[in-house]
Amino acid sequence: MSSPALAVRDLTVAYGGVSAVRGLSLTVDAGEIVGLIGPNGAGKSTTLHAIMGVVPLAAGEVSLGGRPLTGLAPEEIARAGVALVPEGRRLFGELTVEENLRLGLAARRDGEGDGDPLAEVLELFPVLEEFRARRAGVLSGGQQQQLAIARALVARPSVLLLDEPSLGLAPAIVDLVFSTLRTIRERGLAILLVEQRAQRTVALADRTHVLTNGELRLTLTASDATDTERLVAAYLS
């Protein structure tokens, strides 16, 4: 048995004595999408920040393909193969689309190779090719979200973390984002998706964990997508 691409074991994160995440364990294998849903303040973003090394772990362990990430700086975790699409995208608005993408190369482990190192992602997001020389700040929300995902993919990560990628987007763009995730799952990435859109996430993901008050309460599979009652019950409990 090989180790899962991403394994989180007994993760506990505390802010000033109050634990935001308690004893959370989950794994994501290569070629899998795992969803993480729950109300605001449930600890979803905190979990992603803990994986990226932005907030310290009070207990537990995060490992990447069996290699523990504990104690590494965010940039070292990025270079080890974890890419984050942060909430609110966090693009560099004054830099061009191309420069934002080139920043993603900072974490690429196998060098830039021959030819255009950005070609791969530009093929996935043709609109970015069109606006390559434009400042990222002037793009529409949907284009910016595509750029944020593309910037993460440029690094050729083995694990992709997404923090509410559909937030504030028009329905058509949400469709695009979700179908893109489906495409990159097929390429063997391990994807951990934090979302507010519960039903769509459950339908897309291989399994979806429901997080409330920092603890995993329930795990749903795609067949539960229409079973909204159980979802609602889990939210309220």
Terminal C-alpha separation, the chain: 36
Query: Does 103 contact another protein by CB under 8 A?
Result: yes
Query: Does 197 contact another protein by CB under 8 A?
Result: no
Query: Does 88 contact another protein by CB under 8 A?
Result: yes
Of 93, 170, 187, 233, which one interacts with another protein (CB under 8 A)? 93
Query: Does 15 contact another protein by CB under 8 A?
Result: no
CB 61, min distance to another protein, A:
21
User: Smallest Cα–Cα separation from 146: which of 156, 136, 158, 155?
Assistant: 136
Of 20, 21, 32, 89, which one interacts with another protein (CB under 8 A)? 89
The site string for another protein over 26-55 (x = CB under 8 A, - otherwise) reads --------------------------x-x-
Q: Which stretch binds another protein (CB under 8 A): 23-31, 89-97, 119-127, 228-236?
A: 89-97
Query: Does 92 contact another protein by CB under 8 A?
Result: yes
Nearest residue (CB) to another protein, 41 versus 93: 93
For residue 192, the surrounding DSSP H or E stretch is strand 190-195
For residue 24, the surrounding DSSP H or E stretch is strand 18-28
Of 16, 18, 71, 94, which one interacts with another protein (CB under 8 A)? 94
Of 8, 33, 78, 204, which one interacts with another protein (CB under 8 A)? 78
CB 79, min distance to another protein, A:
5
Task: Decide if 13 contacts 177 (C-beta within 8 A).
Answer: no
Rounded CA separation 141/148 (Å): 10
Rounded CA separation 82/84 (Å): 7
Rounded CA separation 203/221 (Å): 8
CA-based angle 212:144:114, to the nearest 5?
110
Query: Does 149 contact another protein by CB under 8 A?
Result: no
**Measured CA distances, 100 to 54, 93, 166, 195, 197 (Å):** 21, 9, 20, 24, 27
What does the binding site for another protein look like in residue numbers (CB under 8 A)? 52, 54, 73-75, 78-79, 83-84, 86, 88-95, 99, 102-108, 137, 141, 144, 151-152, 155
